């Protein structure tokens, strides 16, 4: 059972099956992040191919910033599943996650810029490259030892994705990195409340 249910908003049985599959992988695979993310990526790919149905309030963009709506948060905080939405032109700061994560794109186009902390660099970061993710694409976005990136919507429609993390990402303190001077700040990407 989710700890973040919104009255009047329910997902379909395919989502329930996905939650059960993620829970099983988290319980059985344990601390092997490579194995758990690979397994969850496979389940997410299957769900995307079947057709992900997200109620409109859980895919609605915010005017000022990207949002993450909680679709399911394990009662013990061992994983969470979010609908992440960027409106046209919105982007995140460079940030880390502090846990593993798997993402799949439902609609729109996502641009991901990848970095690695680098004390020899003037701003403390080395740019590794960028990729574009399209509807149906699935990616292991992070593990605890490689998880610094920035994400933006890269088309003329909002980008909606399913994000699965190895923690309650809506309460987890994380770091944002300045691309100008290398400074960092701690932030929490708090869960958004849908308008119903």
For residues 138 and 129, what is the distance between their CA atoms, to the nearest angstrom? 18
- Any residues with CB less than 8 A from the CB of 9 and at least 6 apart, and which? 55, 57, 58, 194, 196
Find out whether 186 and 168 touch, Cβ atoms under 8 Å: no
User: H helices of the chain, where?
Assistant: 13-29, 33-50
- Any residues with CB less than 8 A from the CB of 142 and at least 6 apart, and which? 96, 97, 99, 100, 101, 149
Bridge-based pairing of strands 110-117 and 101-107 is unpaired
Task: Please state, in angstroms and as integers, the Cα–Cα distance from residue 128 to each residue in 33, 97, 125, following that order.
Answer: 21, 17, 9
Max CA separation in the chain (angstroms): 52
Helices then strands, counting H and E runs in the chain, come out as 2, 11
**pTM of the full predicted structure?**
0.92
- Residue 73 is predicted with a pLDDT of 96
> Domain 13-187 class?
mainly beta
For residues 23 and 32, what is the distance between their CA atoms, to the nearest angstrom? 14
- Residue 112 is predicted with a pLDDT of 96
Establish how many alpha carbons lie within 13 A of residue 139's alpha carbon, considering only the half-sphere containing its beta carbon: 18
- Residue 155 is predicted with a pLDDT of 94
How many CB atoms are located within 10 Å of the residue 14 CB?
Answer: 14
- Kindly give the confidence (pLDDT) of every residue in the chain, 196 residues in length, as a single tens digit, with 9 standing for 90 and above: 344 455 556 788 999 999 999 999 999 987 899 999 999 999 999 999 999 999 999 999 999 999 999 999 999 999 999 999 999 999 999 999 989 999 999 999 999 999 998 888 888 899 999 999 999 999 999 888 778 999 999 999 999 999 999 999 999 999 999 988 878 899 999 999 988 7
- Residue 59 is predicted with a pLDDT of 95
């Amino acid at each position: 059972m989710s700890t973040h249910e919104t009255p009047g908003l329910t997902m379909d049985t395919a989502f329930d099956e996905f939650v059960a599959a993620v829970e099983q992988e988290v319980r059985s695979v344990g601390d092997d992040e490579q194995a758990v993310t690979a397994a969850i990526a496979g389940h997410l790919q299957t769900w995307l191919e079947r057709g992900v149905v997200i109620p409109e309030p859980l895919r609605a963009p915010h005017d000022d910033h990207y949002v993450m709506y909680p679709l399911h948060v394990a009662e013990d905080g061992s994983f969470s599943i979010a609908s992440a939405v960027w409106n046209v032109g919105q982007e995140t700061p460079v940030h880390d996650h502090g846990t593993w994560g798997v993402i799949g794109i439902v609609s729109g186009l996502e641009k991901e810029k990848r970095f690695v902390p680098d004390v020899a660099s003037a701003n403390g970061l080395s740019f590794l490259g960028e990729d574009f993710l399209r509807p149906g694409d699935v990616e292991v976005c992070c593990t605890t030892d490689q998880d610094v990136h920035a994400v933006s919507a890269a088309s003329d429609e909002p980008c909606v994705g399913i994000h699965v993390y190895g923690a309650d990402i809506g309460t987890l303190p994380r770091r944002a990195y300045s691309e100008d001077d290398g400074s960092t700040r701690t932030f929490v990407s708090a869960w958004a409340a849908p308008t119903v």
